[in-house]
Amino acid sequence: MVLEQKEMDVIKELQTQEKSCVEKYRRYKEQACDMELKNLFGKIEKLEQKHYDTLGKVLEGEVPECNCNDDDGKNYEPPVTYTQADNSEDKKTDCFLVTDCIGTEKMVSSEYNSKVFRFANAALRKLMADIQIEEQNHAEMLYKYKTANGMA
């Protein structure tokens, strides 16, 4: 597959967003107080790295297969670490981190949504839609963590 310059520019822009997400989740994994949240950030970090790598393959002319996986968000059931009444600094720190990441996921999902029709290739549009669904899944997992821990 040969990309037009404008398509390459969009992919590079999305790759920049994914790189930023990878870095944010890596840093937030180190800052989180709750081990469950550390693990969740680590999982999402790997998924964001996969998105980055997938976009790199597109730049090389390959359109990887996609599976439109939405099971991660549906199936995630976080254990409760913090009670509703807990007002600890650890909870406040973790609440800030998870809330910030939900905002990031909303923004990145919106980027994929607005850019999907800049591509002529149907398989590439499908791939972009798949990544958008996965970004929404990340936000869903984060929101479930936040709700389970009395942060919403």
The total domain count for the chain is: 1
Looking at residue 67, what is its pLDDT?
A: 73
- Residue bearing the bigger pLDDT, 19 or 65: 19
The pLDDT value recorded for residue 22 is 98
Q: How many CB atoms lie within 10 A of CB 129?
A: 15
Q: What are phi and psi of 133, to 5 degrees?
A: -60, -40
- Please give the Cα distance from 90 to 96 (Å, whole number): 10
| CA-closest candidate to residue 104, choices 141, 138, 134, 144 | 138
Give 64-112 pLDDT, tens digit per residue.
987 766 677 788 999 999 999 999 999 999 999 999 999 999 999 999 9
pLDDT at 70 (0 to 100)? 67
Q: What is the pTM of this model?
A: 0.94
CATH code where residue 27 lies: 1.20.1260.10
Residue 17's domain spans which residues? 5-148
**What's the confidence (pLDDT) of residue 4?**
94
